[in-house]
Chain A
Amino acid sequence: MARPNWADDPSIPDEAILWRGIVSRQIRPNPRTQTDGVSQGAFETQELSVNVAAETTAAAVLAKGKRRGVEWRLWEFTAGQARSLGLIVDRDPESDDPSHAVIVRADAPGLRLRGSQAKQLAEIGRWASVSISPGPSSTVSVG
């Protein structure tokens, strides 16, 4: 929700992983890495909603997307990476999602992220490794 007083929140450490839901129309092949990447356009907005990964689960974020009628893949980067691009990371808890945070420009909170900032969020991030948590009595064998 738009508000005039965005401020960087130091309680979100630089190491904190942030998740942004990406829909299929924003996924594009990256010829340099030969993998699926994200369009810069996914981040070209005024207030970029993210989730603080340590304060939620991938399943909960994906379920939030489904409640909103979309299928997300989760793109992740750290709060420190966002800050290094001249961005602010601030908490913006929602009633059903206390881990919700918002990224805005440090020099002009509320203005659309610069194209270069959006481009770099698409470059520095990666797809979150999402696994479905097994039940308490389940075991998972690896390798």
Chain B
Amino acid sequence: MIAAETSATLTGVPYATSPAPFIPYEGLSGDVILESTWAISPIRAVLELASLPENWDGYGSPSISVEVVNQAIRLVLDVARLGIDPLPEPFVGPTAGGGIILEWNLGKRELSLSVLPDGMVEHVKSDSGEPLEEGQATWALLRELVSWLVGPTDPRAA
């Protein structure tokens, strides 16, 4: 079973900051405590990525570290904890450099959250495929990003 440390108080700080890029984690043991069933499928998808071998893409990409897996699980749990409904399940995939990406499409709006190999999380907001904003994600920003994804469309943009 996979452990995910989810009880830390992290509001307003980056998901990971140098020089201590990761919150201590328990490694590949323990339980993931779910507060909603929404998180089950994305977490399963993240766990599947943990078994990717080196060079899984044919271009020499590294396997995905336990730290990145745990960070991605933590991210999924935090999105679930926002309780924003309706929120579709994200696409969960590996990134070429050894990270994990969560991608949502909702109408014309798209949101991606990339867990980088160093544990940082970056976001890209797009509308109709056109990136609008990108940057480092923080725990405080997470609600704003997900709320934007599911929020009403600006009538002026019609």
Contact = CB atoms under 8 A, between A and B. Distances in A.
Interface of A: 21, 23, 25-26, 28-32, 39-46, 48-49, 64-65, 68-70, 72, 112, 114-116, 119-120, 123
B90 to A, nearest CB: 10
11 contacts: A32-B105, A39-B103, A41-B101, A42-B93, A44-B101, A49-B59, A64-B58, A68-B55, A115-B124, A116-B131, A120-B131
Contacts, number: 95
Nearest to B91: A28
Contacts of B130: 123
B61 interface: yes
Size range of the interface on B? 20 to 34
Contacts of B103: 28, 39-41
Nearest to B55: A68
B93 A30 contact: no
Contact of A44 (B91, B96, B123): B96
Contacts of B116: 112
Interface string B22-58: 0000000000000000000000000001001001111
Interface of B: 49, 52, 55-59, 61, 91, 93-97, 99-101, 103, 105, 108, 110, 112, 114, 116, 122-124, 126, 128-131, 134
